[in-house]
Amino acid sequence: MLPNFTYVRARSEKEAIKHLASEGARIHAGGTDLLGCLRDRVFNAKKIVSISKLDFLHGIRKTAEGGLRIGALTTITEVAQNPIIRNRYNVLSQAASEVASPQLRNQGTIGGNICQKPRCWYYRGEFHCLRKGGDQCFAAEGENQFHCIFGGDMCYIVHPSDTSPALVALGASVRITGKRGNRTVLMEHFHVPPDKDVQKETVLEPDEIVTEIILPVASPALKSSYRKVRARRSWDFALAGVALAIEFDGTTVAKAKVVFSGVAPVPWRSKEVEKSITGKTIDANLAAKAAEEAIKGAEAMGKNAYKIPLLRGVIEEELIAITKL
């Protein structure tokens, strides 16, 4: 059952920020994650602030520089189906298409997708874990088959969003507004790893709203793709995955961004893989070597060792696949 709360539908940015500044207020966008968290008592809310009537948060437009601006309330379906995103930022279109189910993609927003809470079953369940202010991580010695192999530090969640790794690979940034004004943060720095703060997933302050996501101009030499492996074909979160954004000069890799999903508490950029392919032509041999680099530093927990060869295989296959796009 949902707890009691006050509900307000903000009519302006100023009104939304004013309501969010009150204690225990939470943003409601599509509600597909928020309401589940409230129902399951993952956290509480005294006030729910709907931002659905803030028109400036809707829609996809070109920026003056030739990039793209995606309003935070743009649905995941709209992101997946937008023709410019499909043509120039394929990795984002593919990642959005892999999110959840059609119903959730129609209701869920891109802003909510990058701000959603982790899916760790202890965090979501009746366990007062470290992330909820308790004093231990139950996954460390428990059922950790879906937990991280990189970046775990006291807490071992995996970042749940498919669009976030794609946005990091594309060099996107996030525009934020709040009572202290506006700021822009690179997607790469938007999520907070547990070694920085074990109770926060993003850099957002409670009164802050993500207003839009900015994609930089896409080079004509850019090829990009998203690959996600999950336990079943119907909706499911990534067990391991990769977002690739590679600029080619002929067959040579001129620039590369490689970001893993499903294996770390934040979208996990692999500079090792990027370094191992830059300046080279990707062939089967190089893809296999790069895949070995990908898993350097991975640390298995009791029940998730399978993720290491899984990730290696995903990287090897997707590096070959992108050369054929």
Residues of this chain that bind ligand FAD (CB under 6 A): 26-34, 36, 72, 76, 99-100, 104, 107-109, 111-113, 115-116, 160-162, 204, 209-210, 235, 237
Nearer Cβ to ligand FAD (199/281):
199
Min dist. Cβ of residue 96 to ligand FAD (A)? 8
Min dist. Cβ of residue 69 to ligand FAD (A)? 14
Min dist. Cβ of residue 65 to ligand FAD (A)? 23
Nearer Cβ to ligand FAD (34/253):
34
Nearer Cβ to ligand FAD (74/270):
74
**Cβ atoms 112, 29 nearer than 8 A:** yes
Q: Give the bridge partners for 258, in sequence order.
A: 244
Alpha carbon distance 45, 205 (integer Å) = 15
- The pair of three-digit structure tokens given for residue 98, joined into one six-digit string: 């892999």
**Cβ atoms 165, 259 nearer than 8 A:** yes
Min dist. Cβ of residue 92 to ligand FAD (A)? 12
Measuring CA to CA, which residue among 226, 304, 280 is closest to residue 293? 280
- The pair of three-digit structure tokens given for residue 69, joined into one six-digit string: 């601006």
Min dist. Cβ of residue 192 to ligand FAD (A)? 14
> Of all residues in this chain, which one has the CB nearest to ligand FAD in the complex?
112
Min dist. Cβ of residue 76 to ligand FAD (A)? 6
Task: Provide DSSP, 70-85.
Answer: EETT-BHHHHHH-HHH
Nearer Cβ to ligand FAD (36/102):
36
Nearer Cβ to ligand FAD (262/274):
262
Measuring CA to CA, which residue among 273, 278, 268, 280 is closest to residue 318? 273
**Cβ atoms 156, 193 nearer than 8 A:** no
Alpha carbon distance 103, 84 (integer Å) = 23
**Cβ atoms 257, 270 nearer than 8 A:** no
Nearer Cβ to ligand FAD (4/285):
4
Min dist. Cβ of residue 118 to ligand FAD (A)? 11
Nearer Cβ to ligand FAD (33/247):
33
Please list, in sequence order, all residues whose beta carbon lies within 8 angstroms of the beta carbon of residue 196, skipping any fewer than 6 positions away.
Answer: none
Min dist. Cβ of residue 45 to ligand FAD (A)? 9
- The pair of three-digit structure tokens given for residue 94, joined into one six-digit string: 């593919």
Residue at 178: amino acid letter? G
- The pair of three-digit structure tokens given for residue 178, joined into one six-digit string: 């709040």
Nearer Cβ to ligand FAD (107/278):
107
Measuring CA to CA, which residue among 28, 99, 108, 98 is closest to residue 75? 108
